[in-house]
Structure 1
């Protein structure tokens, strides 16, 4: 996210006439970052979609846990809760892409108007749609993190989430500050400041500068240490035992003890394959398709009840 965000911001400064066309694609890339973060959390649960379904089917989601603590018997299907979170996250990619395309089209036909919030311009409507969509996605990520934060603590999921959401948050605060400065005429066109400087140039340049400290923070939040093959690797949540060697060991600690060794690197020379995979859309596209087909798949799986015989000849269903 950092290099793409910085590059698009810099291009907006270097080519001010293209700023309105480029800026919405930052939000599109941000939506992909949110989806990728959600997929990363799912990977921590289990690399296998089937094992993941089993894990969430047995999960007591926060809503049910809070209701039980208050003495209210509320039954929440963990698997259905997980599927709703998935859909809520990946809808933002579709909406962000649509808003970006609509922004470019309306700007080209002079119906966007970046500096106006009048209802007969597209700016106010597209901004509202994007804000609602991204709010739903972020809230779903927070709920998902909240349900698993104790089990995923050693992965630093909150730091991973904040490392890119703080960028967006600060950019939003920036936009408010610069809007106030422009509306009070504290920041205005002069012999040294052009229209582009006042309306988005200085704001965008500030975003580029902010990327520097965040690039340092990313080295902490997305530490490469867990991928060092010379060290033990943690088991996914779905495979980690609740106890270790029969002893009463806390679940988190047990998972730290349960680990795998071996494996190989897939990044290629200087990580070139990993860089190529960053721009490979197939994983995100599969996730979007799954968001719209998961309910059909779930219904089909529920109808396919399979009888199985165990070694003693007894039958059971799953």
Structure 2
């Protein structure tokens, strides 16, 4: 059975599967909302202002890290996580301005979330084990309690591999779903307001929720098992700084479904159909991202990477670290280059994501091969 045939099935041969929402959305209502502005124009202005504030705050965070790049492993990951905010709000603003493009745009915001969540996991790994070459050895020495068991344990490296896989699947799944969402929308099979099994919206939503749940459960379990190794970094605050946005959006989706099903929120002279199903929800997203951008500025402060700068150096292009052997400060130059140009170039290199995935996969593969060789060596001696 083909895709189109599946989604165009009739319920028992009786029910019409035509999408209940209009095929083309007209955003302007018949009456003005504030002064001479319709709600759509007012929404564009307010959402645009919020997007501008968010982008400015996040750019400040990223610029400060780029120009004070003393720990490239951690700070570049912070910059990559930070890109979620401007991309999220810009896509939301575009959805407000062009409601008919909403379905094509909203799927890609989930991809950004997935990539940011992956970088967050790798940032936590950096907090636990700063040196990549020591990571396999450290996790192999751990014994992690098995899920739903207080007595049984598993080795830490196998547990890390499982955690890594369940987090990595989220950006991969959301990427596939974003493509599927665009294709089914173009074919008239998606239906944003469709809750029936013959609309792709239901299945894409369910798969996305399951994928997100698996990723988040494993992230929280990683934090719970290893929080003693990274308390100084306040990882939970860092997670909440960008994942609460997603949590709130999910809660708001439920609220709007209830409002829509009860008829509480419906088109009127001042609110068009596009305003009720797209305009208001995206406006709320743009508004709530602003305080989280300031929280992100605080949670991912530059201070841990420049603590000794003022005390030990007079040139802001340099920072000082305490030598572990002598106990005296050692002055180093920041790695970002003029205005952090090297950090910006690394940030906008999409190959870094695949390079990190490949290097982590190689770490697990090499550790497994080393373990097998060690076991074979023991057997030969016996």
Q: Which moved more, 1:33-42 or 1:187-196?
A: 187-196
- Report the Cα distance in structure 1 between the residues aligned to 2:365 and 2:131, rounded to whole angstroms: 19
After superposition, the Cα gap between the structure-2 partners of 1:57 and 1:201, relative to the gap in structure 1 and judged at 3 Å, is same
- Report the Cα distance in structure 2 between the residues aligned to 1:169 and 1:38, rounded to whole angstroms: 18
Following superposition, the deviation at residue 221 of structure 1 comes to 0.9
Instruction: Pick the aligned partner of 1:142 from 220, 234, 238.
Output: 220
Does the aligned pair in 2 maintain the 1:90–1:287 contact within 8 Å?
Answer: no
The residue aligned with 2:370 is 301
Q: TM-score, normalised by structure 2?
A: 0.68
Following superposition, the deviation at residue 20 of structure 1 comes to 0.5
- Report the Cα distance in structure 2 between the residues aligned to 1:266 and 1:125, rounded to whole angstroms: 46
Output one character per residue of 1:80-105: Cα deviation in whole Å (capped at 9) or x when no partner.
11111111111111101101111111
Q: Which blocks of at least 5 consecutive residues in structure 2 are unaligned? A: 1-83, 310-319
Does the aligned pair in 2 maintain the 1:12–1:19 contact within 8 Å?
Answer: yes
- Report the Cα distance in structure 1 between the residues aligned to 2:328 and 2:207, rounded to whole angstroms: 44
Does the aligned pair in 1 maintain the 2:238–2:299 contact within 8 Å?
Answer: yes
- Report the Cα distance in structure 1 between the residues aligned to 2:182 and 2:142, rounded to whole angstroms: 43
- Report the Cα distance in structure 1 between the residues aligned to 2:362 and 2:342, rounded to whole angstroms: 30
Output one character per residue of 1:133-174: Cα deviation in whole Å (capped at 9) or x when no partner.
111111111111111112211101000011111000111111
After superposition, the Cα gap between the structure-2 partners of 1:135 and 1:261, relative to the gap in structure 1 and judged at 3 Å, is farther
Q: Which blocks of at least 5 consecutive residues in structure 1 are unaligned? A: 246-257, 308-316
Instruction: Pick the aligned partner of 2:355 from 286, 289, 304.
Output: 286
Aligned length: 284
State yes or no: 1:88 paired with 2:157.
no
Instruction: Pick the aligned partner of 1:128 from 206, 214, 231.
Output: 206
Q: Which moved more, 1:288-297 or 1:170-179?
A: 288-297
After superposition, the Cα gap between the structure-2 partners of 1:275 and 1:4, relative to the gap in structure 1 and judged at 3 Å, is farther
The residue aligned with 2:48 is none
State yes or no: 1:49 paired with 2:132.
yes
Equivalent runs, 1:239-318 vs 2, <5 Å = 261-289=330-358, 296-305=365-374
Secondary structure of the residue aligned to 2:192 is: coil
The residue aligned with 1:14 is 97
Equivalent runs, 1:98-247 vs 2, <5 Å = 98-228=176-306, 230-231=308-309
- Report the Cα distance in structure 2 between the residues aligned to 1:98 and 1:144, rounded to whole angstroms: 26
Secondary structure of the residue aligned to 1:198 is: helix
- Report the Cα distance in structure 1 between the residues aligned to 2:351 and 2:330, rounded to whole angstroms: 29
Does the aligned pair in 1 maintain the 2:114–2:174 contact within 8 Å?
Answer: yes
- Report the Cα distance in structure 1 between the residues aligned to 2:328 and 2:208, rounded to whole angstroms: 42
After superposition, the Cα gap between the structure-2 partners of 1:261 and 1:169, relative to the gap in structure 1 and judged at 3 Å, is farther
Q: TM-score, normalised by structure 1?
A: 0.80
- Comparing both chains, which one has the higher relative contact order based on Cα–Cα distances under 8 Å and sequence gaps of 6 or more? 2
Following superposition, the deviation at residue 177 of structure 1 comes to 1.6
After superposition, the Cα gap between the structure-2 partners of 1:268 and 1:132, relative to the gap in structure 1 and judged at 3 Å, is same
After superposition, the Cα gap between the structure-2 partners of 1:115 and 1:26, relative to the gap in structure 1 and judged at 3 Å, is same
The residue aligned with 1:311 is none
After superposition, the Cα gap between the structure-2 partners of 1:212 and 1:233, relative to the gap in structure 1 and judged at 3 Å, is farther
After superposition, the Cα gap between the structure-2 partners of 1:288 and 1:54, relative to the gap in structure 1 and judged at 3 Å, is same
After superposition, the Cα gap between the structure-2 partners of 1:14 and 1:274, relative to the gap in structure 1 and judged at 3 Å, is farther
Following superposition, the deviation at residue 233 of structure 1 comes to 5.7
RMSD over aligned CA atoms reads: 3.0
